[in-house]
């Protein structure tokens, strides 16, 4: 991990390594990898999922608060072995996550080991990981399904006596992902990463991960980052490398850059009702495009123009 000091006598930080999306997956997302993926149904790095599918990664252990299309696609393509999540669905409609449901209910294309946490518990687990604590308290859950069902994370929740009396307190074990990949709006050459709009658990998740990579819409001058320091979710010394790919969160929202593509969500939901439709979607939008640039081209200038936000930040 790159570290830097702000002391005037210390050297300037080194520029962050810039990778292609294909390089990021080829070099750092191996079969069997534990991977936390950022985004809470907005700023989901969908382009990352496309590339993982193209490179046919297998047996991944995915941690993600809001699964959405990204997790549904990875599960349907046979990339995932284990999954810790809050929910998985197509948030427009809302519609079921058809590929995820087939895997859980029918073992198609293969069974997936799943475990759940409430969003509050997941966020507190990441906070504990970020702060170096063994656990943190969360909302009372004893007797609830999340507490009782422990398929793949048997020690995810527990109870401790309250030092102030009363009922025992539910606690969630620290979550410290080995690798995290996050979509952000912009970075500078040193890897300082900024995110606009809602950030959900992103700051805690970044700090909790052993290794952090970001996928940014654009790279800007350091002066731009310094002009809005409150938007920074990852200081450069935490970022191992970065990818710059416009439209890498489509069809989810990217605050300040583009809005959610409701039509594409509907298209995905309708196509993936059957395994044959799911495969056809992958052939057209993932394998057939060949790269994220090909995906942008397939999306078309007219669609991108209709979704683009201008001057919001």
pLDDT top residue among 92 and 297: 297
> What value does the mean pLDDT of the chain take?
92
Task: Calculate what percentage of the chain has a pLDDT beyond 90.
Answer: 84
Q: pLDDT tens digits for 250-294?
A: 999 999 999 999 999 999 999 999 999 999 999 999 999 999 999
Nearest C-alpha neighbor of 68 from the set 249, 214, 209, 216:
249
Q: Nearest-CA neighbor of 243 among 6, 29, 9?
A: 29
Whole-number CA gyration radius for the chain? 20
Higher-confidence position of 45 and 312:
45
User: Is the pLDDT assigned to residue 158 strictly greater than 80?
Assistant: yes
Report how far apart, in Å, the C-alpha atoms of 172 and of each of 116, 120, 153, 165 are. 12, 10, 11, 19
At 1-39, the pLDDT tens digits run 444 444 445 577 899 999 999 999 999 999 999 999 999
Q: How far apart (Å, rounded) are the C-alpha atoms in residues 159 and 311?
A: 48
* pLDDT tens profile 98-155: 999 999 999 999 999 999 999 999 999 999 999 999 999 998 877 776 677 767 778 8
Quickly count: other Cβ atoms within 10 Å of residue 33's Cβ. Answer: 17
Q: What is the pLDDT of residue 4?
A: 42
Calpha distance 205→66 (Å, rounded): 13
**Residues sharing a CB contact under 8 Å with residue 108, sequence separation 6 or more, in sequence order:** 102, 275
CATH superfamily of 17-117+177-307: Glutaconate Coenzyme A-transferase (3.40.1080.10)
């Amino acid at each position: 991990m790159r570290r830097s000091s702000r002391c005037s006598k210390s050297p300037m930080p080194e520029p962050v390594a810039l990778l292609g999306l294909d390089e990021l997956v080829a070099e750092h997302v191996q079969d069997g990898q534990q991977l936390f993926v950022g985004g809470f149904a907005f700023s989901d790095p969908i382009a990352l999922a496309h590339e993982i599918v193209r490179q046919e990664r297998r047996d991944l252990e995915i941690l993600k608060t809001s699964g959405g299309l990204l997790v549904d696609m990875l599960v349907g393509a046979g990339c995932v072995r284990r999954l810790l999540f809050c929910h998985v669905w197509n948030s427009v409609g809302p519609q079921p996550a058809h590929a995820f449901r087939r895997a859980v209910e029918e073992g198609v294309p293969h069974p997936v080991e799943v475990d759940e946490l409430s969003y509050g518990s997941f966020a507190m687990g990441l906070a504990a990981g970020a702060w170096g604590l063994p656990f943190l308290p969360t909302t009372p859950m004893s007797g609830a399904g999340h507490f009782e069902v422990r398929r793949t994370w048997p020690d995810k929740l527990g109870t401790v006596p309250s030092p102030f009396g009363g009922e025992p307190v539910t606690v969630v074990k620290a979550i410290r992902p080995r690798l995290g990949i996050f979509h952000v709006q912009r970075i500078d050459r040193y890897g300082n990463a900024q995110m606009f709009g809602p950030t959900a658990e992103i700051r805690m998740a970044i700090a909790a991960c052993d290794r952090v990579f970001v996928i940014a819409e654009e790279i800007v001058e350091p002066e731009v980052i310094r002009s809005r320091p409150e938007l920074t979710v990852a200081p450069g010394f935490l970022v191992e490398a970065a990818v710059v790919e416009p439209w890498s969160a489509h069809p989810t929202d990217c605050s300040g850059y583009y809005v959610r593509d409701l039509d594409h969500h509907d298209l995905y939901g309708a196509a993936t009702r059957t395994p044959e439709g799911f495969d056809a979607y992958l052939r057209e939008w993932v394998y057939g495009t060949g790269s994220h640039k090909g995906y942008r081209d397939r999306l078309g200038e007219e669609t991108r123009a209709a979704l683009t936000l201008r001057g919001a930040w």
